[in-house]
Amino acid sequence: MLWVRTATLATARPLNNFNWKVAFFVTESPSSEPLLSEMLKVHLPFVTGFLKTSDGFCNLEAEDLDKIAGICTIVSFTPEQYLMRRGEMGDIMYVLTEGQVRVVIPDDSGGDPSTLLLGTGDIVGEMALLTDGKRRADVIACTDVSALAMHKKHVFRLLYRHPPLASFLTRILVKRIQSIDGFRQIGKYRLLGELGLGCTARVYEGIHVHLERPVAIKMLNHALMYDDLFRERFQSEARIIAKLQHPNVIQVYDTEHSHGTLFIVMEKLLGRDLKKQLQQISRFSPEKVVPILRQVCEALLYAHQEGILHRDVKLANCFMTEDGQIKLMDFGLSRPLGTQERMSVEGSPDYLAPEVIRGKTPDERSDIYALGIMAFALLTGILPFNAKNVREVLVNQIQKPIPDIREFVPAIPGNLIDFIQGTLVKDPDQRLSDWPTIFSLLNLRKRSKVGPGATRATGHQSIVLTCPETSVPALQEALRELSTKIEGLTWSDPRS
């Protein structure tokens, strides 16, 4: 049997002063949701203006709101009429434009249901866009209600054409997580609270329901789920890190695909990243920097040996736990070593190696250059090639000489000077890049004997200088002066 339900159609007036006209459309049953008909399309500027006031959409640009408004229809409900019923399959989301509804949420344990009142600007039925499951609650009109309706198939069609628009799904999901009836379950894990927010993902605290193991859960922004490149990158990060088993690399336990996006489940760390640490204390002493660099070196060496290039080494991607352990994280830009396809220049401008800026394929030496930038920043509190805009930063990376770190840290040990000057050489062929020498400068491993003609890196030669003990300070000073004239000249004191 077919049922006829009345709905209302708005004329071109401001949304807070609609002139309603009666329209009719056919549904399959009294409780089913209204079909979206072209006859119910409303004038875009008014819908756009209303969406701008709704929490799920307020951050979108005007032209993006116009696109979303183009798939909306206006529907209305009378008091006590169901907008949706628990147990039904849902494929429509509503943004309330007028009136009030009550959301009746059953108690899974058999107790009394809870009731939530929602009104103008609130969103109901949003899980229809995020899952393929059944409705979890009844939504009933308390008064005459009007709403913007968005059909799932129309929304998805729009988002695949314009991926950035999908950010509204993330805002809606985050709001739902925070709500009183918000979902808390992601596969085998329960969400406990938000830990952090980045450009591409949010990180939540969670716990494995059965093992009671605390975890961190990284949720990809929905806008990137509709971008094939970023979606694959996020999945690639999970696969890459899951293979890495090292005390200085963050551990990935699991992945989940839920609520329209991807989640990476990782070990939960107590502490903060080095960027936040540096903001708190302004600079680290050389004695504290050396063990930090040692641990990052161990992580990078291990990753390189496993055939993985990180490509985004920076302070914010190195986490220091409360006991001082460093964890290298965020492998979102990582690639297998030897990848030759043309790629856009990616990474953080302040840490990009000159050859990468020029469009050459990055390799291990690019990671080591970024490590040198990190070392300079940790010791001085500033980035060596900082500028007022990204373009100037990139030009500085290519052209500007390495600042003399002794101007900022007069008492800096010679081995750290050598490390920074060697890792920040512009030409990758002349850059300090062999791990034995790097570890030697950081006193990580026993120094091996170096003889004339021993090669440190492509294009490098090592020589041995001997002099009386009393002349060592003068020799070191002479070498420092010489290093300002010969790019790539490094040395170390075997007594250190």
Domain spanning 272-483 has what CATH number?
1.10.510.10
Query: Which tokens in the block code for residue 61?
Result: 């640009």
Does 253 have pLDDT greater than 70? Answer: yes
Extract long-range pairs of 335-342: CB within 8 Å, 24+ residues apart.
335/308, 335/309, 335/311, 335/362, 336/307, 336/308, 336/309, 337/304, 337/307, 337/308, 337/309, 337/363, 337/364, 338/307, 339/309
Domains 3-178 and 272-483 share a fold: no
Task: Give the Å distances, CA to CA, from 204 to 113, 221, 269.
Answer: 28, 13, 12
Q: Which sequence positions are flagged as catalytic? A: 312
| 117-121, 191-195, 240-244, 370-374: least confidently modelled range | 240-244
Average pLDDT value over all residues in the chain? 79
> Would you state the pLDDT for residue 381?
96
For residue 96, the model assigns a pLDDT of 92
Q: Is the pLDDT of residue 412 over 80?
A: yes
Of the candidate ranges 17-26, 73-82, 421-430, 443-452, the one whose mean pLDDT is the lowest: 17-26
Could you tell me which residues come within 8 angstroms of residue 257 by beta carbon, excluding any fewer than 6 positions away? 263
Assess contact for 108 and 170: CB atoms under 8 A.
no
From residue 376, alpha-carbon distances to 46, 77, 231, 414, 421 in Å are 54, 64, 34, 14, 10
Helix (H, G, I), strand (E, B) or coil at 340: coil
The model's pLDDT over 423-474, given as tens digits with 9 standing for 90+, comes to 999 999 999 999 999 999 998 443 333 333 333 444 455 565 666 666 767 7
Structure tokens at 212: 């009671």
Topology, domain 3-178: Jelly Rolls (2.60.120)
Helices (H) and strands (E) in the chain, counts: 15, 21
Confidence of residue 493 (pLDDT cuts 50, 70, 90): low
Mean pLDDT along residues 79-85: 94
Structure token pair of residue 357: 């800026």
Query: Any idea which residue has 């020029």 for tokens?
Result: 358
Model confidence at 143: pLDDT above 70: yes
| Residue 357 to residue 362: CA distance in whole angstroms | 10
Cβ atoms < 10 Å from Cβ of 128: 24
pLDDT tens digits, 292-314: 999 999 999 999 998 888 889 99
Buried b (16+ CB within 10 A) or exposed e, 434-449: bbebbbbbbebeeeee
- d(C-alpha 36, C-alpha 147), whole Å: 13
Query: Is residue 487's pLDDT more than 80?
Result: no
Structure-model confidence comparison of residues 235 and 447, the more confident one: 235
Burial of 153 (0-12, 13-18, 19+ CB in 10 A): exposed
Class of the CATH domain delimited by 185-267: alpha beta
- Percentage of the chain exceeding pLDDT 70: 78
- pTM more than 0.75: no
Show contacts of 440-446: CB within 8 Å, 24+ apart: 440/492, 441/415, 441/416, 441/490, 441/492, 442/290, 442/293, 442/294, 442/297, 442/415, 443/290, 443/415, 443/496, 444/294, 444/297, 444/298
Task: For residue 394, give both structure tokens.
Answer: 């990139």
Residue type (1 letter), 7: A
Domain range annotation of the chain: 3-178, 185-267, 272-483
Q: Strand 185-186 to strand 189-197: parallel, antiparallel, or no bridges (unpaired)?
A: antiparallel
